[in-house]
Amino acid sequence: MFRLAILKLTAFCNLDCSYCYMFNLGDRTFERVHRNMPIGVALACLERIREHAVAHELSEFHVTLHGGEPSLWPLEDFSVFLARAEEIRRSDVELTISLQTNAVKLPQRLLGLLAEHRVTLGVSVDGPREHNDRARVTKGGAGSYDRVMRTVDSIVEGQYASLLQGFLSVANPDIEPAAYLEWADSLPVRRLDVLWPMELNHASLPWGTGQEARYRSNPRYGMWFAQLFEQWWHRDDPTLYIRLFYDCIYTLMGSPRHIENIVNDTVPIFVVNTDGCIEYHDYFRALADGGVRTRFRVQDDPLDALAADPVFRYLLDLGEHLPAECRDCQFGDICGGGFLPGRMEPDHMPPRRRSVLCYDEYYFFSSIRRTLAPWLATCDLPGVHAPLIANASTDPPSLLGVA
Amino acid sequence: MDAKISDTKPEQLETEVARSKIYEAAYSHLQSLGLRPGVEGFDWSLDFTLHFGLDSPDVGGPEGPGRIRDRV
């Protein structure tokens, strides 16, 4: 069963971020679909979700409003959509709704609607201004940081401050970890997540030709995440919430919950594009044009029909498809084959192999394990990650070639 | 950037275990969700997250994450 829907309310954006998987990597679907999701399609999404939740007795279901830039969707459509969502909440299932925005511009009327219907906001921003503005730029190439933070400040200082749940950034090893933490400390809401890069996969490796051995010893992203974690841990300020780090700690302490980015046991997620086509997760968008598209349409097909699709089936049962090369890895449980975008390979869906970020993730998990080992040894929660303690090793990554 | 993983030995940290506020916050959070000794986990569906969608951890105590930072 599915538990989360990502709705593409728009297929356009008021920024032009260099790494954007919607517009600037392999997928050109945005050129072939509606700019705005028609309200009828959006309401059909809600109906499919309601049916699915009722049929599977789900007490809640999460909807992420996404794009393009979702805040550019017509305000009158937001009003109709959220009113219907409210009806479903009252009668059938608790819909939790969030909107992931670039926060370039968020009209007060939209904020009012979001507040009225308990829609939370996540803001995408990639670290300190000088780093953010290299990638997150306007169509004219100007940096977006100052404009975004002005919007954020206006929200925080106004009546809708509670909407703002946190910030989402993409890992950037060019940022010194100490500088990143200093920046995070300065945010008006000290709550953020850091994503592994989504543009790296088996067709776009993190190392250059002939450089794999060198990369294996110095995995750029893994080292950056490890340093960031270590500095965050030693600062010991639990109110600076970095979701990936807490999720790793929870998992090592025995939490059985599903976690985005790590564990990778299931992906109960589908995407609906503006034309109503039900798509695979955005994670697969970078590799090929149209690679996420399916034959299913939210206007015609119940969500249970998706279970007949081999890729959706594979993703729902992802934990059963741990790559063979990962089965003896001491981090198999927490890594689960690695961040999904990195597992993609040309002309093969679903993914079969471990992530090309394997060296990075191995390094990162090694670092966390070493830092946490003394605390985990005293942890009395059931399911605490004992094998990691028993096998605590300080060895650097020792892997066979990915490529 | 040079590789640097903490070389602190477990025995050196023995006396510091109880002083990790992050560990205590994470422990309290899991306990609040029902993951405590003698209990078989909890319904992870209640804690499923994408970015910040559903995530509402209690870490950080009464002034935990999500609070608006004091304006300087």
Domain harbouring A162, CATH code: 3.20.20.70
Q: Which of B7, B21, B55 to mutate to test the interface with A (most CBs of A within 10 A)?
A: B55
B41/A98 touch (CB, cutoff 8 Å), yes or no: no
Q: Which among A3-17, A253-267, A345-359, B33-47 has the top mean pLDDT?
A: A3-17
- % of residues, chain A, pLDDT over 70: 95
Residue A22 pLDDT: 94
The alpha carbon of residue B13 is apart from the nearest alpha carbon of chain A, in Å, by 7
Res. A64: pLDDT tops 50: yes
Q: How many angstroms from the chain centroid is the CA of residue A43?
A: 24
Instruction: Quote the radius of gyration of chain A (alpha carbons, Å).
Output: 21
Q: Given an 8 Å threshold on Cβ–Cβ distance, is A161 in contact with B45?
A: no
Domain residue limits, chain B: 16-56
With cut-offs at 50, 70 and 90, classify the pLDDT of residue A390. low
| pLDDT in the model for residue B37 | 61
Going by C-beta distance under 8 Å and a sequence separation of 6 or more, which residues neighbour residue A122?
A98, A99, A100, A101, A165, A166, A167, A168, B51, B52, B53
Please say if the pLDDT value at position B46 is more than 60.
Answer: no
Lowest mean pLDDT among A108-112, A117-121, A295-299, A392-396: A392-396
Confidence at residue A257, expressed as pLDDT on a 0 to 100 scale: 67
Task: Judge whether A386 lies within some domain.
Answer: no
* Helical segments of A20-121, H only: 39-55, 75-91, 108-116
pLDDT in tens, B20-37: 899 988 888 887 776 666
- Domain assignment of residue A388, yes or no: no
Inside any domain, residue A290: yes
The DSSP line for A289-348 is TTTTEEEEETTT--GGGGGGSHHHHHHHTGGGG--GGGTT-TTHHHHTTS-GGGG-BTTB
Count residue pairs from A and B with Cβ separation < 8 A: 189
Which pLDDT band, with edges at 50, 70 and 90, does B67 fall under? very low
Assess whether pLDDT exceeds 50 at residue B10: no
Nearest CB partner across the interface for B48, out of A3, A253, A372: A3
Residue B49 corresponds to which tokens in the numbers above? Answer: 């997250």
The DSSP output letter for A160 is: T
Nearest to B66 among A191, A218, A378 (CB): A191
Identify whether A390 is part of a domain: no
A84 in a domain, yes or no?
yes
Please name which of A49, A99, A97 lies closest in space to residue A72, comparing C-alpha atoms.
Answer: A99
Lowest mean pLDDT among A46-55, A79-88, A318-327, A377-386: A377-386
Model confidence at A394, pLDDT cuts 50, 70, 90, reads very low
Q: Which residues from chain B sit within 8 angstroms of residue A375, using beta carbons?
A: 13, 17, 20, 23
Share of chain A above pLDDT 90, in %: 65
| Tokens found for residue A57 | 């007795």
- State how far the Cα of B15 lies from the Cα of B24, in Å rounded to an integer: 15
Q: Sorting pLDDT into bands at 50, 70 and 90, what band is A254? A: confident
Question: Is pLDDT at A80 greater than 90 in this prediction?
Answer: yes
Q: A6-57 pLDDT, tens per residue?
A: 999 999 999 999 989 999 988 999 999 999 999 999 999 999 999 999 999 9
- Within a domain: A319: no
Q: Which of A40-44, A161-165, B15-19, B41-45 has the highest mean pLDDT?
A: A40-44
- Could you tell me the residue range of the domain that residue A219 belongs to? 4-310
In a domain, A380, yes or no: no
Q: What is the pLDDT of residue A152?
A: 96
Mean pLDDT of all residues in chain A? Answer: 90
In this predicted structure, the answer to whether residue B52 has a pLDDT above a threshold of 50 is no
**Nearest-angstrom CA–CA distance, A40 and A77:** 9
| Pairwise pLDDT comparison (A258 vs A307), residue with the higher score | A307
State how far the Cα of A70 lies from the Cα of A66, in Å rounded to an integer. Answer: 5
* pLDDT at position A106 over 70: yes
Q: Do A168 and B65 touch (CB under 8 A)?
A: no
Residue A302 and residue A48 in contact, taking contact as beta carbons nearer than 8 Å: yes
Indicate if the pLDDT at residue A240 is higher than 50.
yes
The confidence score (pLDDT) of residue B5 equals 35
Residue of A93, A187, A239 to mutate, testing the B interface (most B Cβ within 10 Å of its Cβ): A239
- Kindly report, residue by residue over A348-371, the tens digit of the pLDDT: 888 888 999 999 999 999 999 888
CB neighbourhood size of A263 (10 A): 21
The 10s digit of each residue's pLDDT in A152-168 is: 999 999 999 989 988 99
Q: Which residues of A touch B54 (CB under 8 A)?
A: 60, 62, 96, 98
